[in-house]
Amino acid sequence: MKVCIISILGRPNVGKSSLLNKIIKYDLAIVSNVPQTTRDQIMGVYTENDYQFVFVDTPGIHKPLNLLGESLNKEAFSSINDIDCILFLTPVNEEIKSGDKLILERIANSKNKIAVISKIDLAKSPDDISKKIKSLEEFNFQKIISVSNKNDKSIDSLIEILKEYSYEAPPFYDEDYITDKSMRFMAKEYIRESAINLLTDELPHSIAVEVQDFIEEEDRITINAVIYVKKDSQKGILIGKGASMIKKIGTNARMKMGHQFNSKVTLNLKVKVSNKWINDKSALKKFGYN
């Protein structure tokens, strides 16, 4: 067996989670159009014939405005240690920004690093891709490639390139293993994903989810969870008129859990206010952001 451990790095909202999900063919990392959706390192395992790749999806690296932001950056940069290859994602339709340069400085001395130009379906012409490649040439990447999550061939090409960085070793995990994350963790993330995709403005950044009970029975999983927000006014928005919004959030999350967990799911949601959780170390630890 040949193996490789790969860290996926980039600014918020550049397509890291979408790429991971596409590679492993499973909705593991939650996805939305809201920056900083990913708050944890998410490990996904791809096994094919004689190869096994362990991918680590990371929170988007950004200039932190609070303790949560500092925690997310720390989580992302910690993934650089003990890995074999780095995928640095940057969208075709965006210039190299200060956030990119922060990452590029940190990985400057990393040996095996590949620049991945993402979202190439947004390119207006082939020249856009050429210009993007040129802007990356000064950063000493071993390879610069482009991918589209809508094009399986580009994903296959990425896998073939990663095989060049693999080495002989016993497999880290069984052939059917996908992730180290528990169903309880995934339930928390699916609830947060549902809320993020139904809400607007800054409210998604103010949300934290705590799964208080995860009860597995023979024919059903029962989940009791609390969604926390920072303000009373946000609580009203999250619940909605006649509890309409919280019902939508619950329905969408429950349907996804049922599909992903292959089980009937009962989901009970509550909404609470925690004024300073985003800057409170004990609260961040409670929600899993150490």
- The verdict on whether residue 44 carries a ligand-binding annotation is no
- The verdict on whether residue 12 carries a ligand-binding annotation is yes
- The verdict on whether residue 11 carries a ligand-binding annotation is yes
40: its two tokens: 């944890």
CA distances to 37, 191, 199, 238 from 273, rounded to whole Å, are 20, 17, 17, 11
- The verdict on whether residue 10 carries a ligand-binding annotation is yes
Q: Exposure of 138 by Cβ count < 10 A (0-12 exposed, 13-18 middle, 19+ buried)?
A: exposed
Rounded distance between C-alpha atoms, residue 209 and residue 229, angstroms? 9
- The verdict on whether residue 119 carries a ligand-binding annotation is yes
- The verdict on whether residue 37 carries a ligand-binding annotation is no
- The verdict on whether residue 34 carries a ligand-binding annotation is no
Rounded distance between C-alpha atoms, residue 232 and residue 50, angstroms? 54
- The verdict on whether residue 113 carries a ligand-binding annotation is no
Q: Is residue 90 within 8 Å of residue 145, measured between CB atoms?
A: no
Rounded distance between C-alpha atoms, residue 4 and residue 12, angstroms? 24
- The verdict on whether residue 91 carries a ligand-binding annotation is no
- State the DSSP H helix or E strand holding residue 7, giving kind and residue range, or none if neither: strand 2-9
151: its two tokens: 């094009």
- The verdict on whether residue 191 carries a ligand-binding annotation is no
- The verdict on whether residue 56 carries a ligand-binding annotation is no
- The verdict on whether residue 58 carries a ligand-binding annotation is yes
Q: Is residue 99 within 8 Å of residue 92, measured between CB atoms?
A: no
* Pure H helices in the chain: 16-24, 67-78, 98-106, 126-136, 152-163, 183-198, 232-239, 244-261, 281-286
- The verdict on whether residue 120 carries a ligand-binding annotation is yes
Annotated binding site for GTP: 10-17, 57-61, 118-121
Annotated binding site: 10-17, 57-61, 118-121
